Amino acid sequence: MIKIGLLGLGTVGSGVYKIMENNYENIKNKVGTALEIKKILVNDIDKQRELQVDRSLITSNYREILEDPEINLVVELIGGEEPAHKYIIEALKNKKSVVTANKLVIAKHGNEILSLAREKEVQISYEGSVAGGIPIIRPLKESLAANRIDEIYGILNGTTNYILTRMAGEKLEFNKVLQEAIKQGYAESDPTSDISGLDAAYKISILASLAFETFIDVNRVYVEGIENISLRDIELAEELGYVIKLLAIGKKENDGLDIRVHPSFIPRKHPLALIDDVYNAVYIHGDAVGDVMSTGRGAGQMPTGSAVVADIIQVARDIHNKRLTPNLLESFQNYKLKNIEEVENCFYLRIQVKDKPGVMSRVTKILGDNRVSLASVLQKHRLTPVVPLILITHPVKEKYINQSLEELRQLDDVITINNIIRVEESS
């Protein structure tokens, strides 16, 4: 019998409890011994819960779990940075293995946590921290271990994918969809971390750390959200053969690692272009396997519960068999993270210029002088005296685009720079 302490009985915690109860026999057979949830930490013992849990299991004192010598597996599902981080550290120090779905804690404190687990010779597993129910952490560590991975592209945030899908499908503006999504419960009441790209940045930091075997400092990842994407951009993307997705990107290049999150044009025929609504997907290129993509539900009680219980089974099996699966720290190396200014991309530029002779040549001269070469130019719906101009560039370093924009803003002919969006052509 392996005794488990559960920290948190919110959405995912309740899902884990239900799965473990419903599949008790099946899980017991898979582990080789029974699993018992001995204690559950909650904030408010008297809170009315949809889930019926024996009152004697519930505590509001974390010490009853972290200091109980009978509990050798702690499952952290509180979320947020503190006190979750503190509890994980304390559990590991007390030689308890830990399963968590906490992307924030793993992205920010992964180095400390993995090192401590190794020192204490216990397990740390975090499949549920990225892309909910999609198996991706263990595949990166095990099933794809033969490969040198050089590219990861992810749609790692369901909220933003849902918003972009509805904007495109129903021809709605960002704010309208966002407000409706909050009202219907598809988006959090404070969706800042989703919309701004930060949630996806935590997740790509975790995936890229495993894929490229190094620690990625999430604070150094370039992040841009979807708040400036307008319906007009989505319509133009469609017209040009693309869709707009919030992409989380990790690339290993000769001059360093390129890790970033931002909206991107992706070709309509790319497999990631088909991932709609709240679905997540991860697309990986390895030298042996080639391209692989996994997709599924990136959040929610049962999908994330599925990933967490899989971790519990794996770790419990190791505890039962007195085995220690290495946590990969041994192979971690230091790589330079590329500055976004040095990253090369194609760009979509939507600007409004005055409708008069010579404007186009002055705009293209600024671009040309800054090494920006154009792949296509579209002049749309003349609304004298203003002309919308849509430019797609060839690959160019961000610093040259930024210099061009600086100069274009000074140009009397340019009325507005509406938007600049990267165009992903390489994958």
Provide the 3-class DSSP secondary structure of residue 206: helix
Q: Sign of the CA dihedral 16, 21, 26, 29?
A: positive
Contacting ligand HSE within 12-71 (CB under 6 A):
none
Nearer to ligand HSE, 76 or 199 (CB): 199
Instruction: Reply yes or no: is the peptide bond before residue 139 cis, omega within 30 of 0.
Output: no
DSSP letter at 221?
S
Q: Nearest 5°: phi and psi at 217?
A: -80, 110
Burial class (CB in 10 A: 0-12, 13-18, 19+), 426: exposed
Our CB check for ligand HSE shows the closer of 5 and 225 to be 225
Tell which positions 148-167 bind ligand HSE, by CB under 6 A. Answer: 157-159
Q: Cβ of residue 113: shortest distance to ligand HSE, in angstroms? A: 18
Instruction: Kindly identify the residues of this chain, within the stretch 84-123, that bind ligand HSE according to CB under 6 A.
Output: none
Cβ atoms of 376 and 391 within 8 Å: the answer is: yes
**Are 199 and 157 spatial neighbours (Cβ–Cβ below 8 Å)?**
yes
Question: Shortest distance, CB of residue 297 to ligand HSE, whole angstroms?
Answer: 9
Report, in Å, the least distance between residue 142 CB and ligand HSE.
23
The answer to whether 141 is a known catalytic residue is no
Instruction: Give me the least distance between CB of 204 and ligand HSE, in Å please.
Output: 12
Among 157, 148, 166, 242, which residue's Cα sits nearest to residue 194? 157
Interface with ligand HSE, residue 263, by CB under 6 A:
no
Beta strands 256-267 and 414-423 are parallel
Q: Which strand (E) or helix (H) includes residue 397? A: strand 396-397
Q: Which is nearer to ligand HSE, 157 or 393 (CB)?
A: 157
Active-site hit among 203, 245, 251, 338: 203
Q: Which is nearer to ligand HSE, 194 or 213 (CB)?
A: 194
Judged by CB, which is closer to ligand HSE: 57, or 168? 168
Residue 306 touches ligand HSE, criterion: CB under 6 A: no
How far is Cα 372 from Cα 403, in angstroms, rounded to an integer? 10
Q: Which of 167, 299, 307, 346 binds ligand HSE (CB under 6 A)?
A: 299
Q: Please name the residues in contact with 54: beta carbons below 8 A apart, sequence gap of 6 or more.
A: none
Place of tokens 């699966």: 325
Q: Nearest approach, Cβ of 298 to ligand HSE (angstroms)?
A: 5
Compute φ and ψ for 384, nearest 5 degrees: -30, 130
CA distance 151 to 407: 34
194 binding ligand HSE? (CB under 6 A): yes
Cβ pair 213, 333 in contact under 8 A: yes
The CA distance from 378 to 363, in Å, is 13
298 in contact with ligand HSE (CB under 6 A): yes
Contact between 127 and ligand HSE per CB under 6 A: no
Closer Cβ to ligand HSE, 84 or 390, answer by number: 84
Residue 79: CB minimum distance to ligand HSE, A:
9
Residues contacting residue 153 through CB under 8 Å, at least 6 positions apart: 247, 248, 249, 272, 282, 283, 284, 424, 427
Instruction: Tell whether residue 199 is a contact of ligand HSE (CB under 6 A).
Output: yes
Q: What is the nearest approach in angstroms of ligand HSE to the Cβ of residue 129? A: 8
Cβ distance to ligand HSE smaller for residue 90 or 194: 194
- Residues catalogued as catalytic: 203
Applying CB under 6 A, the residues found at the interface with ligand HSE are 157-159, 194, 199, 298-299
